Each structure stands twice: as structure tokens, then as C-alpha cells.
Structure 1
Amino acid sequence: METKHLILNHNSKEVSAKTDQKVDLIVTSPPYPMIKMWDELFEIDSLAKNEEEIGNEFKKSISFLNEIWNESLRLLSEDAIVCINIGDATRKIGSQFRLFNNHQKIVEYFLSKGFVQLPSIIWRKQTNSPNKFMGSGMLPVGAYVTLEHEYILIFRKQKRDFLKNNEKENRLESAFFWEERNVWFNDVWDVKGVKQRNNILNSRERTAAYPFEIADRLIKMFSVKGDTVLDPFLGTGTTTLAAMLNERNSIGVELDEGLYLNFVDSLKKDNNTITKKMNKKIDERISEHEDFVTNSQSEVKYFNENLKTRVKTKQELRIKINKIKSIQIEKEKNEALLRVNYF
């Protein structure tokens, strides 16, 4: 089996001009409006001093994102699912401290486009720092609650039917383990964040990366082998790597040339190392499942011939996990195509 991964150093507002490939799933984490590190991208006037002025700046940044959502929807199949990791923002305007509800604006947009919202996931990113609280410390009225969570918003238009034989087989092979389901489909995820400092030449100061585990779970939960995953805000390539690991195709778009070059060049330079790291994740997943089987307090009676391990339910009998055999890279100036082959 081979999967293909198109990486574009391009403006996400024009991605449909670069490909007509149909997309089955969006997994992305866009820039967060009203977070200062993104002011330049959104052309935010940091000197805005009153509610009306800052309200206009907020609307402008939301409109920026909506243009990219508009373009992304051009590639979506009718039964595609959209997963967006977004955090709200807090900011002091003059002497007034307030919240900017980014997640609500994204919900409003997708509902206006005829999507149905599915239950969201709360990603908890708590910190134990003694200085994390904002405001007047121990004095009432003037202190503010600390934001220690982000949202993973999930949308779709219609339920997907797996009518073709290859789609049915891909779905069976893409099933997840019983114990994984019991963790992933809870509405609160405790997943550790990743370092944000960016030392990449000609790039922004922070990567704004989100954890591999977030993208990995979402791709396993809401797509099957052979599907195509889109990330219009590729960043450090987390979504593409998760798609590669899970035998999905992908399209990733990144405006920042430094991030684009770093991701593609690292794949070329450290190809074997990255392949080994990815395959190690597969070994760890199977090992964790076998630990579950060994320690289970109830009977695990079914046997998966592909993985040579017992499983809890009949729906897990056909799970098949292939390791990465090779990654081939075809690179042009602002575009790269990765071809991934599996054992």
C-alpha cells in the first residue's frame, strides 16, 4: 500500500488551485485570534484602546480564518468530518480585561454552512505554576479564572456510508481497540502540550505546535485507511506525520517558508530516523494493548490473526496495522510530495 502527502508552502486561501483531491477529514489547529503572537498575521492594531476598536480587530481576524475555511470546504467530500483545535483568548484592552470567544465564532461559521456540530472535546492543559492566576491575587472581584483548556470542535454534514467493498475492508482494518475507545471518546482529554519555542531560521518565534497524540487520535477516530486528511495550518507537520503513521493520505499547507523547509528537509535528512520513530509508536500501541489483555479483569476471548493478539470485541478482529517501509520525497521550490510505502 502507498499513501501520498502533498506539502505546500502556499496561502491556504488558494489551496484549491493547487489540488482537486477530495478531502475526507480536516484536522487542524489554526492561529488563535487576539493572541499577541498572531497580531502580525491578522494585522491586528495592538494600539486599539476601546471596545469598538478592538471589536473591529477581532472581527477582522475571524474573517481571515473564515476565508480559509471557505477555501478548505471546496475540497471536502459531502460526508467529511472537520476537527478544529482552538483556544479562546484573554487580553487587556486599556484597563479592561476580557475574553475573546474564538471557539464560538468557529461554531457559528460552520453551522451557517450547513454543518452539524458533534460533541466537542475539552483538551485540558493545566499548569501547576504558582503564578498562573491573573488579577488581584487573594482579593475578590478583581481576579480572573485562568484558561487551562482548549476546544476540539467537531462538525459534519451527513453520515458516511461505507458501501464499496474496499471502503468496508478499510473500515474494519482501521478499527481501534476497545480500551482506546474508552479513553478517546471521553469529552475531556488530559494530554501534555509541546514546547513552543522556535529556533528555525526565517520563521516566527513560536511554532504553535499541538501534540502528535491529538492529531493521531482524531485521525484514528474519524477516518479510515486510504482517506485524505487536510491541514490548512500545517506548522511543524504534526497532522501529516499522524496521517502517514495511520495509512491515510494528506494535504498540508503552510505559509511560513521556514517551517515548510524545516519539515520537508528534516524528512529528507533524517528519513530513516523518522521512520524508526514512527514504527516505534506502532510497537508501543500494540504493546500497550497486550498489557491491557494481560491485566484485564474480564475475559478477552477473541483473537486477531493479523496482530496475533486477543481482543475484546468482534469489531477488533480485522484490525491491521502496517509499519512504514520507506518514505520517498519529491521536492520543488514551494511544493513537496511524499510517497509512503508500508510492510
Structure 2
Amino acid sequence: MSGISETDALRVYWQSSEDMSVVDSESVQTIITSPPYWDLKDYGHEDQIGTADESYEHYHNRMKAVWEECYNVLKQNGTMWIVVDTIMERGDLQLLPYHIAQRAEEVGFVLQDLITWYKPTAIAGMTDRNIVSKKEYIIYLSKNRNHTFYEENSMNGKEDPAVSDDHRLGNLWRFPVKRGTTGDNFLHKAPYPQALTDRIVRISTEPGDTVLDPFLGSGTTALSALERDRQCVGFELNQEFETVISDRLNSLQQKYLTEF
């Protein structure tokens, strides 16, 4: 564990989330993460999940071990939210979100929905011959059918189709991806916007609850949790992210001092 922050609200373990025995069983209210994709991005660690020398099936076997650990640490009324997109495998489309959902269901999770995250500012395509992908998916799972969900806290943003007057929260979320929002020293190759994790924290937790990210990366999940008076536990193999996370948390602490 690292003393990455002066606050006791954050614990970061620089190890694989395939073993999360350091976290108490049924102590986490919600899990928010974006896992490594298979054979797509190199995050610079020899033990990382999803490298090119792994088969697609072996990738899912390792990921299933993570989902088993997540299931164990999650409270009975807890939820898990996984941000992921489809991928190309040797020119063929792989429905990665559906395959992850299947493995999570095998562990015991209940699949509540597949939310579409609309990214209007996305510009990159999967390959030169594909159309530009303007979306990712958020796999919404719960440990049990009866689970914590505070729909009234969803707080729709401008032009967000998920919420309109007198209607329930929908499963099409609009969150543009902005460049340069985490500083120049930015290592993570697949960030999600904090507005997205802000919404998930609000609708799935209360102040004082614990949020876990098994692939912490640049710390967006932690920032959303800490800004809203939640606890956070993170697992990350690549300790080079420590500087990025520390810088972001320092900005948060300076904001608190200014407001005080």
C-alpha cells in the first residue's frame, strides 16, 4: 500500500486485483472501473492483463478472477459498473462488453442493463476501414436483484438524453471526452470523464460509503469518490500512475483549502 494521499479516505494497492484479500468481504458499496482491453493497449507492466501473448479466452479467465474478487468484497446491496467497448480481433468484431457480462453473471452478478455512453467528441476509429466509434458501454451489474440505486441523484447535464422532465433515468448517457483535463503528465491511454463517474457515485452510494476501482489508472474514480465524501480503494499494477494520481489529489486538497 502507498501513502499516496494524506487522507485516510483513499487506499491504493500496487498489485493485481486478481487477489483482493486485503479488502474486507462485503465492505464495498459500489465498484466503478474501466478494465484493460484484450490486445489493444500496452500499459507497461509485464503482469498486465490483456497483452498480445494471451489468448482471448485466457484474458477472460483472468478477468473472471477479478470479478470473483469484486463479488466477494461487494456488499449484498452493492453494484458494479464496468466501462468497456467492443474490440477488433484479427479484423473481426468481438463483443467484449457482452462477454464480460457473461463471465460476471457466471460469478453470481445480476446484469441490470447495458448503458450506452455517447461520446460526441470521439474522433478515432477502431481500424482504418471502420466507421468512427462514438460510444462505449457501461455494464451495470448488482450483487442481488434488490440493490441500492438513488435515481433522484442522477443530475443530468446539458444535452444529456438520459434524463428529461418527469421521466426516469434512461440508458443513453452523453459525456464528451475532453483532452488535457488531467495535466501534462498523463500516462493513461483510456480515460473516462469524471462527469461519468460522478453520476455513478451519486446514484449508487451515500456519503461515507466505500467505492472500489480494481483498475485505478489515473484515479478518476477516486477523485469522484473523495469529492463526494466517500471512501475509495484502488488496485493498480503500474506504480508510474502514482505521480498522476497524487497531482490530481493535490488539486482536490487545494480546492478544499480555498473553499475553507
- The answer for unaligned runs of 5 or more in structure 1 is 47-55, 136-142, 163-170, 280-324, 326-343
Once the two structures are aligned, what percentage of the paired residues are identical? 23
**In the alignment, what sits opposite 1:303?**
none
State the AA in 2 paired with 1:86.
Answer: V
Residues 84, 65 of structure 1: CA spacing in aligned structure 2 closer, same or farther, 3 A cutoff?
same
Find out whether 1:185 has 2:166 as its counterpart: no
1:107 to 101, 112, 118: 101
Q: Distance in 2 between matches of 1:176 and 1:275?
A: 22
Mark the CA change 1:182 to 1:16 in structure 2 (over 3 Å): closer, same or farther.
same
1:34 counterpart = 2:39: yes
Q: C-alpha separation between the residues in 2 aligned to 1:121 and 1:74?
A: 24
Question: Do the aligned partners of 1:230 and 1:252 also contact (CA within 8 Å) in 2?
Answer: yes
**Paired residues, number:** 243
| Alpha-carbon distance between aligned partners in 1 of 2:226 and 2:24, rounded to the nearest angstrom | 19
- Report the counterpart of residue 238 of structure 2 in structure 1: 256
| Correspondent of 2:70 among 45, 69, 72 | 72
* Equivalent residue runs for 1:136-155 within 5 Å: 143-155=129-141
Partners in 2 of 1:133 and 1:57 — Cα distance? 20
Cα distance, 1:212 vs structure 2: 0.4
What letter matches 2:103 in structure 1? Y
2:212 to 218, 222, 230: 230
Structure (1/2) with the larger helix percentage: 1
Matches within 5 A, 1:136-215: 143-156=129-142, 157-160=144-147, 175-176=152-153, 182=163, 185-195=169-179, 200=185, 206-215=188-197
Question: SS where residue 240 of structure 2 aligns?
Answer: helix
Unmatched 5+ stretches in structure 2:
1-6
**1:1-343 alignment runs, 5 A limit:** 4-19=9-24, 22-37=27-42, 41-42=48-49, 44-45=51-52, 57-91=55-89, 93=90, 97-127=91-121, 132=125, 143-156=129-142, 157-160=144-147, 175-176=152-153, 182=163, 185-195=169-179, 200=185, 206-264=188-246, 267-268=249-250, 270=251, 272-275=253-256
Query: How many Å separate the matches in 2 of 1:8 and 1:267?
Result: 16
- Please state whether the residue corresponding to 2:192 is helix, strand or coil: coil
Q: In the alignment, residue 275 of structure 1 is paired with which amino acid? A: Y
Q: Retained in 1: the 8 A contact 2:148–2:204?
A: no
**Partner in structure 2 of residue 333 of structure 1:** none
The higher radius of gyration belongs to 1
Q: CA deviation at 1:161?
A: 7.4
RMSD: 3.5
**Residue 21 of structure 1: CA displacement?**
6.6
Further displaced range: 211-220 or 175-184: 175-184
The residue number in structure 2 matching 1:339 is: none
Which SS does the other structure have where 1:104 is aligned? helix
Q: Contact 2:121–2:176 at 8 Å: present in 1 too?
A: no
How far residue 261 of structure 1 moved from its aligned partner, in angstroms, is 4.0
Q: Counterpart of 1:337? A: none
Deviation at 1:229, TM superposition (A): 0.8
Taking structure 2 as the reference length, the TM-score comes to 0.77
Is the partner of 1:42 in helix, strand or coil?
A: coil
State the shift of 1:249 in Å: 1.6
